[in-house]
A = this chain, B = another copy of it.
Amino acid sequence: MEQRILGLDPGLAILGFGAILCQPSLGRDVAGNVGVMDFGIIQTSAGTAMGDRLCTIYDDLNSVLDAVKPDLVAIEKLFFYRMGNTIAVAQARGVVMLVLAQHQLPFVEFTPAQVKQALTGYGAADKHAVQEAVARELALATIPKPDDAADALALALAAWFQH
């Protein structure tokens, strides 16, 4: 039975999403056992009031969930590594976690290092190496753009490899 995994890289200005379709019955190493469904970003403008930006995230993420109908969500763990906008990111992430709970969706969390480890075998890999691994695993001719969408696909793949 196929499984849909949605990766989410939450942010206030840009929230990356990337959905993959997996065939667990084929096993990890069989070509074609995983493919891309959809990817992209939800954007909100810095000139807009915080509440309205959170409304956009709420509405657009609901649309993504309605379209993808994921079985599992993979989301980036939030740390204090970006002090300046941690509150803004956490507020956006609160809305994301609300929406996932309203849809009763199970989710797994990964740190950036865990994603790098899962995709390249090296927890301190650079961004480009991770993006190349995403393209290779999903048999894409080019690296998915923008970066936030590629990061979201990497999260989804990390969940798939763990599964």
Alpha-carbon distance A78/B49, docked complex (angstroms): 16
Report the Cα distance A94→B61, complex, angstroms: 15
Pair A55/B90 contact, Cβ less than 8 Å: no
Does A100 sit at the interface, judged by CB under 8 A?
Answer: yes
Which residue from B55, B80, B101, B107 sits with its C-beta under 8 Å from A54? B101
**Copies per assembly:** 2
Interface centre among A80, A94, A95, A97 (most CB of B within 10 A): A94
Least CB distance, A144 to chain B, in whole angstroms: 27
Cβ–Cβ < 8 Å partners of A110 in chain B: none
Cα separation A91 to B93 with both chains bound (whole Å): 6
Which of B52, B54, B87, B100 lies in contact with A51, CB distance below 8 A? B100
Further 19 A-B residue pairs, CB within 8 A, beyond A54-B94, A87-B90? A50-B97, A51-B97, A51-B100, A51-B101, A52-B101, A54-B97, A55-B101, A58-B98, A78-B87, A80-B87, A86-B86, A86-B87, A86-B90, A90-B94, A91-B93, A91-B94, A94-B95, A95-B95, A95-B98
- A residues adjacent to B (C-beta < 8 A): 49-52, 54-55, 58, 78, 80, 86-87, 90-95, 97-98, 100-102, 107
Q: List 11 A-B contacts (CB under 8 A).
A: A54-B101, A55-B98, A55-B102, A58-B98, A86-B86, A87-B90, A90-B90, A94-B94, A94-B95, A95-B95, A98-B98
